[in-house]
Each structure stands twice: as structure tokens, then as C-alpha cells.
């Protein structure tokens, strides 16, 4: 009888512990991690970085997914943090609103984003959520009102003393009309070229072009990642390159891809082992 009693007591204790652990993990993934913010610093060393470009700081943010799980109040705090980092150039790699068709306060976004300060400019590309839900023209207007330059299969060259930094932006590959050849027309071979593209896996399609750094988002870093298992799900075109820094094999010139985990969440209101992030890249002349 004592053995049966002890076994029953052990099972009860085990069940209580399992409930407590499950509840703690749920609370963390639902209420703690989505509200954290990690600033990731990277140095990009390249022979394409001239002495004029040496020390330029590029800040990337991505995948806000404004909606029921990410508020305008949180966006205001994010903008404040971006400005505290004093970037020279700011880029947004898509997915501003989770669902434009169900977002009633669109007019409140631009006044907040407009406050982002970047002396070399602010640039953005379409994400798949910016194309769906009737958001395509709304997104374009919001960015214009926020003083962001939206690049759709086109490029912009920034003159810095005697050097140029070329920014190329591709349309979204899932719901847009990307045109790689058009976007890269006359891009200089020896200058520093930054590519903005929402989906990271397209790196293998563009590696024959003269790209030094590709910045992407879309994956959310998997959003929920389990120990020994990895991401439960990543969307199409974010399954090979999921998060962080990659060197692209077989590229025309030494090419780095960075996949940003993004800020917001979609589908399910959870993040686990995939903390929201801002990424700051400092360009460095190879000989520095």
C-alpha cells in the first residue's frame, strides 16, 4: 500500500510541475519575449567600402505587423530606440501592417515613422503583407508621408564625398512583380551595393549580380523555436536562410546576407527563442 501511495503522490507532484512549467513557458512566449528587443551589431568589411564610406552605420528594422499584437504605442517606443542609436541610413524590409483590410488606424502610422532620423535617408521595400489585404497603394502612401523612399525594382545612389553607395530594392517575390534585371541595370561593379529584399531565400537567385550586402526579413527567425528541433514553421522563401548572417556561396563578389528576426508577430501571438531585433551594420574599409 505504501508503494501505491508513494507512486500516486509522485505522479501528482509531476503533474503539478508540468502544469507550472507549461504555464510559465506560455506566459513567457506570449507576454515576455514578444516585448523584448535585442540590438544586433555587425561589421561589414569589404573592398567595396571606400574610405569615404568607412564607418557608415545602416540600421535595419523589419516585419512590424501592426495590428492586434503590435500597437502604435509600441511603435513609438521603437522609433525612440532607433533614434537613440543614431544611424546614418535606415532601411525597412517590409510587412508594416499585419492585415491592412482589418486595420482601422492607418492614418496614425506615418506621423510616428516620420520621426525616424537618418541623415543619409530612409528606404523601404514591399513585404507580402504590404501587398495583400488591399494594402499596396496604402503602403506606398504611408511610406511617402513618412519620408521613406520605396524602392520597387529600382535603385538609388547616395553620394558620400567622392564615393557612392547604391541601394537596390526588389518587389515582393510572393505577391509582387519582382524584376531583378531591371533593378540592377547599370549597377557599378566595384562600388558598394546594398540589396533590400523581403524574402531571404532569393539570395541564390540574385548572387550573379554585384551585391555586397543583402538585407531581408520575412522569417521572424522562425518566431517559435524549440530546443533540438528548431523552428516550428518558416514561410515560403525563408526556409534555407532563416536568421542571422550568411556568406552566399558562388556569388559574383563576396556577398553577405542578413536575415532579420523582425519586430512583430503574425498568425499566433507567440515568440520563443526568437527575440525581436534591430540590426545595425557598420561599413568598414577592408584595410581599416
Residue 186's pLDDT band (cuts 50, 70, 90): very high
Q: What is the mean pLDDT of residues 170-190?
A: 96
Q: What is the pLDDT of residues 93-127, one digit of tens each?
A: 999 999 999 998 888 999 999 999 999 999 999 99
d(CA 285, CA 41): 17
| pLDDT higher than 80, residue 10 | no
- Residues near 43 by beta carbon (within 8 Å), at least 6 away in sequence: 281, 282, 284
- Residue 40 host element (H or E): strand 38-46
d(CA 259, CA 8): 49
The pLDDT, as a whole number, for residue 200 is 98
Residue 134's pLDDT band (cuts 50, 70, 90): confident
Ordered by start, the domain boundaries in the chain are 1-35, 38-285
Q: Which of 266, 268, 281, 226 is nearest to 65 (CA)?
A: 266
d(CA 63, CA 97): 8
| pLDDT higher than 70, residue 3 | no
Q: What is the mean pLDDT of residues 276-287?
A: 93
Distances (CA, A) of 199 to 13, 16, 34, 238, 251: 47, 43, 22, 6, 18
Q: What is the mean pLDDT of residues 266-275?
A: 88
The pLDDT, as a whole number, for residue 124 is 98
Residue 178's pLDDT band (cuts 50, 70, 90): very high
- Residue 258 host element (H or E): strand 256-259
| pLDDT higher than 70, residue 2 | no
Prediction pTM value: 0.93
- CATH number, domain 38-285, options 3.40.228.10, 3.40.1010.10, 3.60.21.10, 3.40.50.1220: 3.60.21.10
CB 59 within 8 A of CB 92: no
| pLDDT higher than 60, residue 5 | no
Residue 21's pLDDT band (cuts 50, 70, 90): low
pLDDT over 70 percentage in the chain? 93
- Residues near 176 by beta carbon (within 8 Å), at least 6 away in sequence: 126, 128, 131, 152
Q: Sign (positive/negative) of CA torsion 39, 152, 236, 32?
A: positive
d(CA 133, CA 148): 21
Q: What is the pLDDT of residues 249-263, one digit of tens each?
A: 999 999 999 999 999
DSSP letter at 175?
A: T
| pLDDT higher than 80, residue 18 | no
Amino acid at each position: 500500500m505504501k508503494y501505491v501511495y508513494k507512486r500516486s503522490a509522485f505522479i501528482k507532484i509531476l503533474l503539478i510541475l508540468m502544469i507550472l512549467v507549461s504555464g510559465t513557458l506560455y506566459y513567457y512566449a506570449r507576454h515576455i519575449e514578444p516585448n523584448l528587443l535585442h540590438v544586433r551589431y555587425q561589421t561589414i568589411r569589404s573592398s567595396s567600402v571606400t574610405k569615404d564610406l568607412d564607418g557608415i552605420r545602416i540600421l535595419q528594422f523589419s516585419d512590424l505587423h501592426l495590428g492586434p499584437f503590435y500597437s502604435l504605442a509600441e511603435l513609438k517606443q521603437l522609433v525612440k530606440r532607433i533614434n537613440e542609436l543614431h544611424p546614418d541610413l535606415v532601411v525597412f524590409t517590409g510587412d508594416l501592417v499585419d492585415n491592412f483590410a482589418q486595420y482601422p488606424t492607418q492614418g496614425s502610422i506615418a506621423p510616428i515613422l516620420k520621426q525616424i532620423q537618418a541623415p543619409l535617408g530612409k528606404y523601404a521595400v514591399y513585404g507580402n503583407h504590404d501587398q495583400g489585404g488591399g494594402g499596396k497603394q496604402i503602403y506606398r502612401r504611408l511610406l511617402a508621408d513618412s519620408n521613406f523612399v520605396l524602392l520597387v525594382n529600382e535603385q538609388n545612389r547616395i553620394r558620400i564625398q567622392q564615393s557612392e553607395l547604391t541601394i537596390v530594392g526588389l518587389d515582393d517575390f510572393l505577391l509582387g512583380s519582382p524584376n531583378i534585371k531591371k533593378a540592377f541595370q547599370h549597377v557599378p561593379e566595384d562600388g558598394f551595393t546594398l540589396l533590400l529584399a523581403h524574402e531571404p531565400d532569393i539570395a541564390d537567385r540574385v548572387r550573379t549580380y554585384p551585391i555586397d550586402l543583402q538585407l531581408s526579413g520575412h522569417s521572424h527567425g522562425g518566431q517559435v523555436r524549440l530546443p533540438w528541433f528548431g523552428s516550428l514553421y518558416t514561410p515560403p522563401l525563408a526556409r534555407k536562410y532563416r536568421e542571422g548572417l550568411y556568406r552566399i556561396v558562388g556569388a559574383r563578389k563576396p556577398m553577405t546576407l542578413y536575415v532579420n528576426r523582425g519586430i512583430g508577430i503574425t498568425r499566433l501571438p507567440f515568440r520563443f527563442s526568437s527575440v525581436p531585433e534591430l540590426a545595425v551594420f557598420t561599413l568598414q574599409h577592408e584595410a581599416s
